[in-house]
Amino acid sequence: MIAGAACLMFWLSLLTEVQGTIFDVKKFGAKADGKSDDCKAFASAWKAACSCMTPSTLVIPKGEYMVAQLMFQGPCRAPVTYQLQGTLKAPTVMNKMNSQDGWLAFLDIDGLTVLGGGTFDGQGSAAWASNNCAKTGKCNSLPANLRITKVTNSKIQDITSLNSKLFHMNILGCKNLTLQHITITAPENSLNTDGIHIGRSSGINITDANIQTGDDCVSLGDGSQQVNVEKVTCGPGHGISIGSLGKYRNEQPVVGVTVRNCTLTNTMNGVRVKTWPASPSGVASNMHFEDIIMNNVSNPILIDQEYCPYGQCQTKVPSRIRISDVSFKNIRGTSATELAVKLVCSRGLPCQKVGICDVNLTYNGNGAATSECANVKPTISGKQFPPVCTRTT
């Protein structure tokens, strides 16, 4: 009898322990009415989950949750799963938000999993009109939907980022992070709403993402190393970009980037590497683009070392970013502009070890597609249409 009671107590304690690792924000006071600020409930639920000695799950059930600026900070005692089933909505008024911290931030966490099929809604439409990049050249005064900083050995999957005020996902200082089955949506006129921006991070894998936004679908800043981008559909947007590089001093090298099996539709650019003129010294190497489909894409293949979007730079001074070991392979489809391939490298540091293999791009308008090359002598192989770099300067 005593043994049986002890056994029952053991199983009850085990069940309690398992249930104790699940933290539902509603049980911490979240109202999920789409109006009340549920920040306190989320912060309390996160604190409990992060403090748990065993793997835990923070659950956000279906519903609409109004949440002001919030940081989910570690380090945590054990891996945490952030299960978003509902929709989180950001405030439309910006005066209470610190743009540098983002709207929602995950900081200093090892073993984080974000999933659940839910949505991060930045409600950015009112903010886009105040983003006066064209006149000021500054576009960093608004918060990103998700700021992911110093997150390691983690995964983000099956979630949606909607109408961010600035970048949808800003990944900085992360290692071994996978983003899978991500949906990112914002209209074409939403300024500077990069889908996924990566900086100073290594071992980043993006796969099976559907990105429609007003800027780069994927952008890689300085210090991006060993990054794999695969099975991304992009458009509208500005394409998949490495850079811009060379705007600031002490930028870290970009090394080891692969972009493959992606489809771009009605985008401003295709796959590109862009650096500022008059830049400090820097390095971008071992970058490979392959098996890419272009559907009515302007500038499908682009290296631009004279990048100056707002006309506020010294264009006569060459870029000092050294680009080397770049390949474009099996890139096919249609160009919205006559100039389908443009490789304009720095006259101070011409590009080295550039390879182009099997390009088939046709112009959607009247006439044939063309190419332009400067300060580069690529290795050409396979079929080429248009003929690439037949004339170089």
At 267-326, the pLDDT tens digits run: 999 999 999 999 999 999 999 999 999 999 999 999 999 999 877 788 889 999 999 999
Burial class (CB in 10 A: 0-12, 13-18, 19+), 189: exposed
Q: What is the pLDDT of residue 1?
A: 42
pLDDT at 140: 54
Residue located via tokens 């695969």: 230
Q: What is the mean pLDDT of residues 158-176?
A: 97
pLDDT at 32: 96
Q: Which phi and psi (to 5°) does residue 106 adopt? A: -110, 120
Rounded Cα–Cα distance for residues 81 and 267 (Å): 35
Q: What is the pLDDT of residue 17?
A: 41
**pLDDT over threshold 80, residue 240:** yes
Condensed to tens digits (0 to 9), the pLDDT of residues 78-95 reads 999 999 999 999 998 766
Q: Which residues contact 232 (CB under 8 A, 6 or more apart)?
A: 206, 207, 208, 209, 210, 211, 217, 218, 240, 259, 262, 263
Query: Average pLDDT for residues 41-45, to the nearest whole number?
Result: 97
Reported confidence tier of residue 13, pLDDT bands at 50, 70, 90:
very low
pLDDT bracket for residue 133 (50, 70, 90): low
The count of C-alpha atoms lying within 13 angstroms of the C-alpha of 48, restricted to the half-sphere facing its C-beta, is: 18
Residue among 166, 110, 116 at smallest CA distance from 141: 166
Residues 215, 216, 222, 304: which is the catalytic one? 215
- Range 216-393: architecture per CATH: 3 Solenoid (2.160)
CA-to-CA dists, residue 367 to 295, 333, 336, angstroms: 17, 16, 12
pTM: 0.93
Annotation says 215 is catalytic: yes
Contact 379/356 with Cβ under 8 angstroms?
yes
User: Cα dist. 67→59, 242, 371 in Å?
Assistant: 15, 33, 49
With vertex at residue 82, the alpha carbon angle to CA 80 and CA 83, rounded to the nearest 5 degrees, is 130
Q: How does the average pLDDT of the chain come out, rounded?
A: 92
Cβ proximity of 90 and 165 under 8 Å: yes
- The mean per-residue pLDDT over the stretch 48-63 comes to 96
- For residue 16, the SS3 value is helix
CB 232 within 8 A of CB 271: no
Please, which residues bridge with residue 196 across strands? 169, 218
Pairwise CA distance, residues 69 & 278, whole Å: 37
Q: How confident is the model at residue 24 (pLDDT cuts 50, 70, 90)?
A: very high
State the pLDDT at residue 98: 65
What percentage of residues in the chain have a pLDDT greater than 90? Answer: 84
pLDDT at 139: 57
Q: Which of 193, 109, 107 is nearest to 145 (CA)?
A: 193
Cα dist from 286 to 61, 217, 327, 349, 354, whole Å = 43, 21, 8, 16, 10
Domain with CATH 2.160.20.10 in the chain: 22-130+139-195, 216-393
Cα distance between residue 331 and residue 264, in whole Å: 11
> Is 238 known to be catalytic?
yes
pLDDT value at 52 more than 90: yes
In this predicted structure, the answer to whether residue 20 has a pLDDT above a threshold of 70 is no
For the domain bounded by 22-130+139-195, which CATH number is listed? Answer: 2.160.20.10
Q: What are phi and psi of 306, to 5 degrees?
A: -125, 35
Two tokens, residue 353: 């070890």
Whether 208 shows a pLDDT value over 50: the answer reads yes
DSSP symbols for 56-104: EEEEE-SSEEE--SEEEE---SS-EEEEE-SEEE--S--TT--GGG-SE
Q: So what's the pLDDT on residue 310?
A: 79
Catalytic, out of 121, 197, 216, 238? 238
What DSSP state is assigned to residue 248? Answer: S
